[in-house]
Structure 1
Amino acid sequence: MQHSTIFPRSLRYLLAVAEHLNFTRAAESLFVSQPALSQQIKQLEEQVGTQLLERSGRNVNLTDAGEIYVRHVKRALTEITSAGEALDDLSNLTRGSLTIGLTPITDYLTVSLIRQFLDRYPKISLNTVEMTQQQIEEAVLQDNVSIGVIFSDSFSLTTRSKELEAYTLRTDSLVLASRLDKKNIQVDKELSPATEALTQPLALLNSKFEIRKQIDNYFANNSLDPLVSLESNSVGFIIEIVRRGGLMTILPESIVASVEDLSSIRIEPPLPTHTATIIMRRSAYRSQACTAFLELALSWH
């Protein structure tokens, strides 16, 4: 959609006179009568309260005030024209920006989705911010981020949650993970009792994160008291230290499967299943970039 430039008639007439320095030729270039043009210029001078043109017979020149005024009018016209072009770019997704809030878990889960979005819309500026689930919900409600991706199908906030709209992205199970033992790889792993599987200390996300609360609930509900030797707010750090051996962790199965040196251990009772969920403020304005990301995410596999 092309946006026509909206610009006051009197200013367009002034620019034409400034270009031709002649009322007749200016009127001809605008396809209007000379009296109509002269009337518009007169009204403009009355509005600004100063003389813009010096008339001498058929010729006309800009006054000092006219020179200054025309310079600013040209600048304004350029900006207005650029604004229309920018709107066209937005509708074509050749310009725009998008800020997405991610938890340490969902930033790993959505890497391929974000890569697809950047490949499809390379001129959209994408900014990702890592936060806890509660921080993401608050940021969405305050319009500090357009989209949030959380690893839960329920909200942390007890107030204003009705203002949030949720879209299911994918479901993923939590699994116990350890360094891959290449000398003893089992193709068909049987379920192991959690009490027997938790043979090494754990490295987990700290208690600020919703996933940790769910893990702690799992331990409490099943009378488990494993040793948590390391807490961190970085999934990447946890993965690297577990790969070196001596520690285990609990992460979404898809993340563990994507790391070459980690193996998952199926335990009984099974760890919780979680849903990666996109959240947005229900009544928020949705930019073209925001809408495009949501459409791609909902078709993502």
Structure 2
Amino acid sequence: MKGVTLRQLRVFVAVARHLSFARAAEMLSLTPPAVSMQIRELEEQIGLPLFDRDGRKVSLTITGEYFLVHARKILGVLKDAEDMVARFKKVESGRLVIGMVSTAQYFLPPLLARFCDDHPGVEVSLSVANRQSLVEQLRRNEVDLAVMGRPPKEMATRAEPFAAHPHVVVAAPEHPLIKLGHVPPLAIAAYGFIVREPGSGTRAVLEEYFRRHGITPRIAMEMPSNEAIKQAVMANMGISLLSLHTIGLELASRRIAVVDVEETPVFRRWHIVNMLSKVLSPPAEAFRYFMLEHGEQHLADQFGEV
């Protein structure tokens, strides 16, 4: 294994994360043939296959699963070394990996653009995942900072709130609930809900709201993204509870309406999170301070005061 390269390890971890050569190629800005070549050369160095390939389906072999643990450790140690060197180079340069829950993609990119304008020498990578996956990325040292609503309690992190995060019940403008005005929680329980997958923060907020009111929601369908849910709501296929920060355009164009339900909006907080055990690089520290200083005002400017 003396010929194994860090490039091969990064490609291997990317393919293992997505279980897709095409998705890994997109994430790494490579072509799928280049990714396949890197994996083939790595398997030749190891002498055993790392992936089972069945048409377009890809899965890790037993060897691949064990090797993935060590590959992540190697890349994590390298990232810590890079961060240490960056501290001596100050914030003018360095690499910053930011993880975010999918709901944050509706407001974080403009903030990140402002940060990059102020720090043009910093190389930034984004990872978008649901809450459960993002917690694992933090644990495995794959991201420097995470932007999320509900910080993890199962491990030692520093979670700093930077803005309010309201959730509202939404429906198509012609839905009967819109005409009723102010309604109790029991009134919405009779309608089918379109929900995110288990492990998402939005799903957790919905379940907690109904649990607090002693109501079991009627799940009409489950979808893996906010965009899919919005399309289904606009088609009047059901109602949903979504972050207000995901529906700005649809509210402005009157394609989605907010249902006036007791004890809504449900307020949570946006947090910037990092592992307590991790020494942040200067770019990471700079972005952390940037979010704490500008995050709340940016959300107020983009979505209005709530």
Same-fold call, TM cutoff 0.5:
yes
**What does residue range 263-274 of structure 1 map to in structure 2 within 5 Å?**
263-270=257-264, 272-274=266-268
1:178 aligned to 167, 171, 174, which one?
171
Is the 1:253–1:264 contact (alpha carbons within 8 Å) kept by the matching residues of 2? no
2:111 aligned to 104, 110, 113, which one?
113
Cα gap change, 1:190 to 1:299, in 2 (>3 Å): farther
Bigger Rg, structure 1 or 2: 1
Distance in 2 separating the partners of 1:231 and 1:141: 27
1:297 aligned to 291, 297, 304, which one?
291
**What does residue range 1-301 of structure 1 map to in structure 2 within 5 Å?**
90-91=89-90, 93=92, 95-152=93-150, 154-157=151-154, 161=155, 163-181=156-174, 190-197=181-188, 200-259=191-250, 260=253, 261-270=255-264, 272-300=266-294, 301=297
Deviation digits for residues 78-121 of structure 1 (CA, Å, limit 9, x no counterpart): xxxxx9xx96995352x322111111222334233223223333
> TM-score, structure 2 length as denominator?
0.59
Cα gap change, 1:198 to 1:150, in 2 (>3 Å): same
Distance in 2 separating the partners of 1:277 and 1:230: 29
Distance in 1 separating the partners of 2:291 and 2:137: 20
Normalized per residue, the structure richer in helix is 2
Figure out how many residues of one structure are paired with residues of the other and give that number.
208
Determine the structure 1 residue equivalent to 2:76: none
Deviation digits for residues 168-193 of structure 1 (CA, Å, limit 9, x no counterpart): 121122110123459x999xx95322
> TM-score, structure 1 length as denominator?
0.59
Amino acid at match of 1:228: I
Distance in 2 separating the partners of 1:235 and 1:209: 11
Is the 1:147–1:290 contact (alpha carbons within 8 Å) kept by the matching residues of 2? yes
Is the 2:91–2:119 contact (alpha carbons within 8 Å) kept by the matching residues of 1? no
Deviation digits for residues 208-227 of structure 1 (CA, Å, limit 9, x no counterpart): 22331231132233233332
Distance in 1 separating the partners of 2:132 and 2:153: 6
Provide the alpha-carbon RMSD of the alignment: 3.2
Distance in 2 separating the partners of 1:89 and 1:243: 52
Cα gap change, 1:205 to 1:88, in 2 (>3 Å): closer
Cα gap change, 1:142 to 1:219, in 2 (>3 Å): same
Equivalent position SS for 1:192: coil
Once the two structures are TM-superposed, the CA of residue 254 in structure 1 deviates from its matched residue by: 2.7
Q: List alignment gaps of at least 5 residues for structure 1.
A: 1-82
Amino acid at match of 2:195: L
Distance in 2 separating the partners of 1:123 and 1:244: 45
Distance in 2 separating the partners of 1:193 and 1:219: 12
Once the two structures are TM-superposed, the CA of residue 297 in structure 1 deviates from its matched residue by: 0.3
Q: List alignment gaps of at least 5 residues for structure 2.
A: 1-81, 298-306
Is the 2:100–2:129 contact (alpha carbons within 8 Å) kept by the matching residues of 1? yes
Once the two structures are TM-superposed, the CA of residue 146 in structure 1 deviates from its matched residue by: 0.1
Equivalent position SS for 2:247: helix
Determine the structure 2 residue equivalent to 1:26: none
Amino acid at match of 2:136: E
Distance in 1 separating the partners of 2:257 and 2:117: 31
Determine the structure 1 residue equivalent to 2:3: none
Distance in 2 separating the partners of 1:87 and 1:222: 50
Equivalent position SS for 1:143: coil
